[in-house]
A and B are shown apart, each in its own frame.
Chain A
Amino acid sequence: MMPGPDQARNARDAAPARARRGLWSRLSESQNGLGFLFMLPAAIFLLFFLTYPLGLGVWLGFTDTRIGREGVFIGLENYLWLFDDPVFWLTVFNTVFYTTIASVAKFGLGLWLALILNRHLPFKNFFRAIILLPWVVPTVLSAMAFWWIFDSQFSIISWSLMKMGLIDQPINFLGDPWTARWSVIAANVWRGIPFVAISLLAGLQTIPQSLNEAAAIDGATPWQRFRKVTLPLLTPIIAVVMTFSVLFTFTDFQLIYVLTRGGPVNATHLMATLSFQRAIPGGQLGEGAAIAVAMIPFLLAAILFSFFGLQRRKWQQGQD
């Protein structure tokens, strides 16, 4: 049959028909379109619950919004104001101090616990379960327990030390700036250790026993075994665990809010608590948002350091 006018007409008819079939059926037929469809709920969810609040926060930081009053764009004014605010700089110092000391302590103690739990111990499972307890208890609850432990009159620590005759009057744990700083750090460490210890324990268990045996035969002392075999192999996991731990600590809020509300004289005020205080009770939503946004560079720096400095190991990635 000759390619005649019939065919030409068919082709002409087909094009509008395809368009008419609509976006929906075209999407559901192509593989990419289908993939897009399936991703849509997750994308909307992420957009709505993560990106939107973040974007809103950043936007608020550039406005003079107060509770109950729409704000207008004021550029960097909030930030300039904060730059000259000694309380803000005190909270930056407090937050960095709190995060550094608490993270180092959590790492040290967590790794130590993980190493102990990785050995053959009687009641091993019992101890592993026990260790998770601080993490399972809601923060507010454990913070209240610490509140009692640190009470200026009834502290069990003061009481024990006094009974032992080491001190003669109760320690004012949360009343003095430096003891308060150390006290909240202690509470944070107690709460954060399980996460570090259990994650590192999981990491330790991925290291084959035969590597330790080979090292023992090669003449390694227990310390050398740890230093030259265990620790290097654990580094990637340490990097991930400690990044998370640093992020959690840097953004800590609950513990401080229950224990000290930032006092005494702002000595334990962290950026997160200050942000909340200025924004909600203080009503300055714009300024509170600016403080929160000011945390982002610190967090990004921590993530980048962990990713480029520790996580990417040549022996894992290959170098060719």
Chain B
Amino acid sequence: MASVTIEGVRKSYGSVEVLHGVDVAIDEGEFVVLVGPSGCGKSTLLRMLAGLEHITSGQIRIGERVVNDLAPKERDIAMVFQNYALYPHLTVAENMGFSLMLAGAKRAAIAEKVRPAAEILGLAHLLDRYPRMLSGGQRQRVAMGRAIVRDPQVFLFDEPLSNLDAKLRVTMRSEIKNLHQRLKTTTVYVTHDQIEAMTMADKIVVMHDGIVEQIGAPLELYDRPDNLFVAGFIGSPAMNMIPGTLEEGGFRAKDGTLLPVTRRGSARPGQALIYGLRPELMTAGGDVPLVVEVTEPTGAETHVVGKLGGVEITGVFRDRIDVASGGTMTVGIDPSGVHLFDEASGKRVSD
């Protein structure tokens, strides 16, 4: 176990800079998820941590050691690749014991390490198979097994679940989480799926276009997003964003609807703002009109897509809603959960 410190890290490919100075501090034993849209530089950052990409500038430390110029094998990390990168010519057992074999360990010593790891992952009966004879989920487990056998300071995962079907993904998600709780190894996990990030992380790092937008615990990010990007990225269905301005009586949307506000923060009257409203903060029956376009009952709750304050929004209601498309319903808004953002800078202004 070790802490990981990333300080002012930049990465350029030729003249194109793809990471513009990233700072992340990861505590010992923490499970940190790097999340962001495709192309934001998550994999690049992870690969720099692993030693597979040169660090253009800045510093990465694992524990107390600066690893900028260390080869991957000297960093004491293990990585699980998106395509698993299993050696096709080696059996499951040989795949898992490969690093020990390279280090010159005895056959018996290798088996002694591989067996418990295989048992943790439920692979004990597959040890003699070749990767091509395994299912996607099993391959994924072998890749994790290979990492566990190394017993490294830090685990690195690059979108390990993205090749699995939805159901298996949920299972593997909790398996990885369990594994982390057992081993307590510092883990950096890359995904573009915010649900994975929310459910697995101790700490989430939201990245966007080569910068870090916000770092925090999952619910911290949900309850107090620093900017419009994080607000829109975390949460599903996404936060509704209604443009308008602040007045004495509340928030005046572009189409004239008045919405309730309590936490005004530093917002000034007349400032162009975005009113951020989580879908579940609306209740049926109130004084704000919502023109219904589609209702999607899921049983436990009803999703309503419609127009509110002149823009398309989504609402999630606990009640069963029966309004025809084109009809109008009224909703109540709990103002304590409302976020205000500056429209120009995207920064949070409410407190």
Instruction: Point out residues on A near B: beta carbons under 8 Å.
Output: 208, 210-211, 213-220, 224, 228-229, 232-233, 313-316, 318-320
Contacts and interface: CB of A to CB of B under 8 A. Distances in A.
B72 A315 contact: no
A313 B102 contact: no
- Assign chain B's interface to a size class: 20 to 34
A316 B77 CA distance: 30
A213 B85 contact: yes
B167 interface: no
Nearest to B71: A216
A217 B98 CA distance: 11
B58 to A, nearest CB: 21
Contacts of A210: 81, 83, 85
Given A213-B72, A315-B131, 13 more contacts: A211-B85, A214-B146, A215-B98, A216-B51, A217-B50, A219-B73, A219-B99, A224-B102, A233-B88, A313-B89, A315-B88, A315-B89, A318-B133
20 contacts: A208-B83, A210-B81, A210-B83, A210-B85, A213-B72, A215-B87, A216-B51, A216-B71, A216-B72, A217-B51, A218-B98, A218-B99, A219-B73, A219-B102, A228-B102, A233-B88, A315-B89, A315-B130, A316-B88, A318-B133
Nearest to A210: B85
B81 A213 contact: yes
A13 to B, nearest CB: 60
B121 interface: no
Nearest to A219: B73
B65 interface: no
- The DSSP consensus for interface residues of chain A is helix
Contacts of A320: 133
B78 interface: yes
A214 B81 CA distance: 8
A208 B131 CA distance: 15
A208 B85 contact: yes
B156 to A, nearest CB: 9
Given A210-B85, A211-B87, A213-B81, A218 B132 contact: no
A3 B85 CA distance: 72
Contacts of A220: 73, 102
A138 to B, nearest CB: 40
A217 B155 CA distance: 11
Contacts of B61: none
Interface in B62-77: 71-73, 77
A217 B153 CA distance: 13
B49 to A, nearest CB: 11
A215 B83 CA distance: 14
Contacts of B132: 315-316, 318
B260 to A, nearest CB: 53
B52 A218 contact: no
Contacts of B73: 216-220
Given A315-B88, A315-B90, A315-B130, A217 B78 contact: yes
A219 B103 contact: yes
A213 B130 contact: no
Contacts of A316: 88, 132
Between A217, A232, A316, A319, the greatest number of chain B beta carbons within 10 A of the residue's beta carbon is seen for A217
Between B87, B132, B150, the greatest number of chain A beta carbons within 10 A of the residue's beta carbon is seen for B87
B50 A233 contact: no
B50 A218 contact: no
Nearest to B98: A218
B79 interface: yes
Nearest to B131: A315
3 pairs of A and B residues whose beta carbons are closest in the complex: A219-B73, A218-B99, A210-B85
Contacts of A218: 73, 98-99, 102, 146, 150
Nearest to A212: B85
Nearest to B74: A219
A213 B83 CA distance: 12
A36 B81 CA distance: 49
A214 B52 CA distance: 10
A217 B77 contact: yes
A320 B133 CA distance: 10
Contact of B89 (A208, A214, A232): A232
Contacts of B131: 315
A280 to B, nearest CB: 49
Contacts of B85: 208, 210-211, 213-214
